[in-house]
Amino acid sequence: MKYTMFLALAVLALTGCGGGPHHQPSEKYYLVCANPKIPYWQEAGAGLVKAATELNVQAELIGPDVYDAKSELAEFKRIMANKPAGILISPGDSTVLRPEIDAAVAAGVPVITVDSDAPQSQRLFFIGTNNYQAGQMGGALLAKLLNGKGNVVFYTIANQKNLEERLDGYRAALAASPGIKVTQIIDMKGDARVAFDTTTDLVDKKTAVDAFVSLESLSGSEIAEVLERKKVDGKIILAMDTAASTLGWIEKGKIAATLMQKPYTMGYYGLKTLAGIVLEKQSASGSGKPNAADPKAPFPVFMDTGTMLVDKTNVAQVKH
């Protein structure tokens, strides 16, 4: 980890060299994601804009308003036609996005993944959460809150690698508690209404659920809203991310905890690092191998932006 951070800081230091090359105001960078209007991505966008202002370059957060990998691919192709200086992207489906990521890098446009990775692509590296470890953190807490026994329902978005890794982490942590059963995994398709309606249906049918776990940022508040309206108590809700509504439900005691990521850091540090690479005209080794399989890759594989558990004991610190 120390070696990885040294490399990262070295890249950042390049942007501050007094007598060296400088950025041009005409440089345009993009952060591509699905559903950029949600609070999570607005936070990332704020970091992106802050970095762009400091570097005196242009940057834009773009993407389709739905979780649809083909629509995200169309956005990626559109911005490639604008000849960007570099691209940050959170791939909704790495299989769908990989060919275009590879084509961009081959054309000389550096691509860094943030939030969600495409490790088999030619992207330079990944900046974001260690999602497997985040899942393990959540799973350990869940096992404790359930006292080792109960039925659990997960909410996710299909084919998103970061969410799959979180689920794997949860499963690994829960493996030591055979009395805890994963009874359903719901694809909420990135739509808060699906999470709300599905939870309503589970409650109305009196389905045996002891804990509800959101692997993405939208479902946690929807689950809490349904249980509050239906006057259902004694259920555990674990959420993801720190939207204001999620933190509010933690303060009220309806959501037990949430896993905090750092999207602002992903946007800020992502652009600073990407722009430094562009400034110094750095590139991959040219081996054609994915970064992780290339012993001569000039970049680290992964930069961890960190994760923290937020509950009633520290929610005020995070909120304010």
Which tokens belong to 151?
A: 């039925």
Percent of the chain with pLDDT over 70: 92
Q: Is the pLDDT reported for residue 305 higher than 60?
A: yes
What is the rounded average pLDDT for all residues in the chain?
92
Mean pLDDT of 40-54: 98
Give the Cα separation of 273 and 48 in Å (integer): 11
Mean pLDDT for 162-184 is 98
Question: pLDDT per residue over 68-98, tens digit each?
Answer: 999 999 999 999 999 999 999 999 999 999 9
Domains of the chain by range and CATH? 2-129+262-306 (3.40.50.2300), 131-260 (3.40.50.2300)
Quickly list DSSP for 139-180. Answer: HHHHHHHTTT-EEEEEEE-TT-HHHHHHHHHHHHHHTT-TTE
Does residue 282 register a pLDDT over 90?
no
Going by the DSSP 8-state scheme, the letter that residue 38 receives in this structure is S
Q: How far apart are CA 125 and CA 155, in angstroms?
A: 28
